[in-house]
C-alpha cells in the first residue's frame, strides 16, 4: 500500500484557477509528483477519505453504488467530467468489518453518484497522468467521509479500512484529502487567527516525521480554532498505516491564499513482507536465522498475534516457493513468518533452494490465515475465501484470489488435485479468509 495526504483546492485546477495557479507552483509540482508515483504503483483501487462527502457527526459515510461522475461545475468548470467505478466488493467488506467491530457507518447510495471536490481535485491530477483525454478512471475507487467521533474511533476506522484491503488482496492506495487551516491571512477568505499557523506547523511536523499517531497529540483547541478540514481524515490515515513501516516524503506546504496546502507521500513497507524478505536473505547469505536483536524494531502486534501463515515467493512473476501452516505452530506470527520464509525459499520440493544471486529478484506475499470454518459449495467465493478439502487423511488447500482461478468449480478441482482426492469422492469443505500482505 502507498498513502498520501493531499489538499483539494479547486483553484489548483487550470479550468478553475487559470493563471492563478502560478501562485501555488510548489503545490502544482507536488501534485504532479504524487500523480507520477501513483501511476508507477498502478493501483487497482484508490481509497479516498474526503470531508466533503456526506459528513455525519456520529457515523462514517461510505458511498454505495457502481458508478459516479465528478466535475467542478459548482466552481465554474463543468469540464472535464470524469466517471469512476466504485470497488463495491471492497466497500462491502469495509462496511461488514465496521458492523462486526461496532463502528457506526452509513453505507448508502445517498449522494454516491456525484463526486465532491475533495475527491475530484486529487483524482483530476492523477487522471491527467494517465492521459488528458481520459473520460473514465483507470482504477476503481472507494469513497469514505470521516466523522466527528473520537480520535480513537477515527483511528480504529482507519485500521479497519486497511484490514478490509488486506482481506480482499487489493493493490490499493489511500488518500486523506484535506486542506489545513483556513485562517492564515487577514486578507484571506476566512481571516486570520494565530492558531491557524500553529496548527499547520504541528500537522506538517507530523507529516515530516512519519509518526502519524502523533496527529492525535495536536492541541485540541488549536485544532478546533484553526478551521481545517483534514484532521479527521489524517487520524484515519494514521490508523490505516499503523501496521506498516512508514517512510515520509514531504513535498510541499503553501498558504498563498490564506488556506494551508500540505502534500506528503508515505511509502508503506508491510512489516510481514519486510520480515519474510529479511529472514530468507539472512538465512541464504549466512545460514543463520534472524536474532532477537535483528527483529527488535517489529511492532508488538506481530509479536502478540497468532495465526497460520503462508509465505509465497515469486521471481519475475512466476512462483518460486510457497510454504505455510493452516493453524499457528509457533508462539507468534513473527516467529511463524520468519521460519516459513526460510522454508518457502529452501524447502519447497517443487523448486531448488533460492541462491544468493536471486535475492534481489524476489517478491514476497504473506497471508495470515483466518480460522477454517465448515462450508458448503454455495458458501464459497474464490476472491474472498480460500478452501480446504479433506478426505480421510488427504487434504488439499488453495488460497483465495489467485490468478487464473475464477470459479468455485476450478477452486475445488485444483484443491482436490493437490490433495490427491478424486472429484467423485466424498470430501468435506472448509473455507477461510486471509489477510494478504504484499
Q: For residue 306, what is its C-alpha cell?
A: 497468532
Instruction: Write down how long the chain is.
Output: 438
Question: Rounded mean pLDDT of 352-377?
Answer: 96
Q: Is the pLDDT of residue 375 over 60?
A: yes
**137 vs 307, more confident:** 307
219-236 tens-digit pLDDT: 999 999 999 999 999 999
Which residues, at least 6 apart from 72, have a Cβ–Cβ distance to it below 8 Å? Answer: 10, 13, 15, 16, 78, 117, 120, 121
**What is the third-level CATH fold of 2-179+229-242?**
Protocatechuate 4,5-dioxygenase; Chain B (3.40.830)
The pLDDT assigned to 66 comes to: 94
The more confidently predicted of residues 158 and 383 is 158
Greater pLDDT, 59 or 136: 59
The pLDDT tens digits for 264-302 are: 999 999 999 999 999 999 999 999 999 999 999 999 989
Q: What is the pLDDT of residues 61-78, one digit of tens each?
A: 999 999 999 999 999 999
Q: Are 137 and 82 in contact (CB under 8 A)?
A: yes
What would the pLDDT profile of 84-116 be if each residue is shown by its tens digit?
999 999 999 999 999 999 999 999 999 999 999
Q: Which of 40, 81, 2 is nearest to 240 (CA)?
A: 2
The pLDDT assigned to 82 comes to 85
Tell me which CATH code domain 270-369 carries. Answer: 3.30.700.20
Q: Is the pLDDT of residue 205 over 90?
A: yes
pLDDT of residue 35: 96
**Cβ-contact 10, 75 below 8 angstroms:** yes
317: Cβ contacts below 8 Å, ≥ 6 apart: none
Q: 133 falls in which pLDDT band (50, 70, 90)?
A: very low
pLDDT of residue 130: 85
Proportion of the chain above pLDDT 70, given as a percent = 99
Query: 132: pLDDT confidence band, cut at 50, 70 and 90?
Result: low
- 384-396 pLDDT, tens per residue? 899 999 999 999 9
pLDDT at 52 over 80: yes
Contact predicate 142/62, CB 8 Å: yes
CATH superfamily of 371-438: Hypothetical protein ph0010; domain 2 (3.30.1490.150)
Contact 179, 196 (CB under 8 A): no
Q: Which residues pair with 432 in a beta bridge?
A: 386
Mean pLDDT across 137-154 = 95
Q: Which of 134-143, 232-241, 275-284, 338-347 has the lowest mean pLDDT?
A: 134-143
> What confidence tens digit (pLDDT) does each residue in 246-269 have?
999 999 999 999 999 999 999 999
Residue 137 predicted with pLDDT over 90? no
Q: Could you tell me the residue ranges of all domains in the chain?
A: 2-179+229-242, 270-369, 371-438
What is the rounded distance in angstroms from the CA atom of residue 74 to the CA atom of residue 76? 6
Task: Give the C-alpha distances (Å, rounded to integers) separating 326 from 306, 310, 363.
Answer: 11, 8, 22
For cell 515467493, the residue is: 313
Amino acid at each position: 500500500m502507498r498513502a498520501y495526504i493531499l489538499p483539494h483546492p479547486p483553484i489548483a485546477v487550470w479550468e478553475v484557477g487559470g493563471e492563478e495557479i502560478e501562485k501555488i507552483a510548489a503545490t502544482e509540482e507536488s501534485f504532479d509528483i504524487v500523480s507520477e508515483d501513483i501511476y508507477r504503483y498502478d493501483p487497482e483501487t484508490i481509497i479516498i477519505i474526503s470531508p466533503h462527502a456526506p459528513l455525519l457527526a456520529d457515523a462514517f459515510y461510505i458511498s454505495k453504488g457502481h458508478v459516479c461522475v465528478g466535475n467542478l461545475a459548482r466552481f465554474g468548470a463543468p469540464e472535464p467530467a470524469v466517471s469512476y467505478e466504485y470497488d463495491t466488493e471492497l466497500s462491502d467488506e469495509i462496511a461488514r468489518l465496521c458492523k462486526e467491530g461496532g463502528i457506526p457507518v452509513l453505507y448508502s447510495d445517498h449522494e454516491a453518484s456525484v463526486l465532491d471536490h475533495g475527491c475530484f481535485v486529487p483524482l483530476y491530477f492523477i487522471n491527467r497522468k494517465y492521459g488528458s483525454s481520459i473520460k473514465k478512471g483507470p482504477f476503481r475507487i472507494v469513497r469514505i467521509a470521516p466523522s466527528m467521533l473520537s480520535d480513537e474511533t477515527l483511528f480504529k476506522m482507519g485500521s479497519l479500512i486497511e484490514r478490509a484491503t488486506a482481506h480482499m488482496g487489493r493493490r490499493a492506495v489511500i488518500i486523506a484529502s484535506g486542506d489545513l487551516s483556513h485562517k492564515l491571512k487577514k486578507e484571506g477568505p476566512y481571516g486570520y487567527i494565530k492558531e491557524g499557523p500553529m496548527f499547520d506547523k504541528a500537522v506538517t511536523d507530523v507529516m515530516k516525521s512519519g509518526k502519524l499517531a502523533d496527529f492525535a497529540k495536536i492541541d485540541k483547541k488549536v485544532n478546533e480554532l484553526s478551521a481545517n478540514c483534514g484532521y479527521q481524515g489524517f487520524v484515519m490515515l494514521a490508523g490505516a498505516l499503523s501496521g506498516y513501516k512508514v517512510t515520509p516524503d514531504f513535498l510541499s506546504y503553501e498558504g498563498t491564499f490564506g488556506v494551508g496546502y500540505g502534500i506528503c507521500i508515505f511509502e508503506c513497507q508491510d512489516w510481514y513482507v519486510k520480515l519474510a524478505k529479511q529472514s530468507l536473505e539472512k538465512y541464504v547469505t549466512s545460514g543463520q536465522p534472524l536474532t532477537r536483536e535483528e527483529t527488535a524494531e517489529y511492532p508488538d502486534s506481530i509479536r502478540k498475534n497468532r495465526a497460520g501463515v503462508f509465505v509465497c515467493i515469486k521471481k519475475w512473476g512466476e512462483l518460486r516457493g510457497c510454504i505455510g501452516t493452516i493453524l499457528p505452530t509457533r508462539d507468534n506470527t513473527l516467529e511463524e513468518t520468519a521460519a516459513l520464509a526460510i522454508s518457502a525459499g529452501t524447502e519447497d520440493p517443487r523448486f531448488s533452494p533460492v541462491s544468493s544471486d536471486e535475492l534481489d529478484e524476489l517478491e514476497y506475499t504473506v497471508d495470515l490465515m483466518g480460522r477454517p470454518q465448515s462450508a458448503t459449495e454455495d458458501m464459497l467465493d474464490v476472491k474472498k475465501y480460500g478452501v480446504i478439502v479433506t478426505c480421510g487423511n488427504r487434504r488439499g488447500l488453495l488460497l483465495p484470489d489467485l490468478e487464473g482461478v475464477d470459479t468455485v468449480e476450478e477452486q475445488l478441482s485444483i484443491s482436490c488435485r493437490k490433495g490427491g482426492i478424486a472429484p467423485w469422492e466424498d470430501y468435506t469443505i472448509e473455507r477461510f479468509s486471509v489477510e494478504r500482505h504484499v
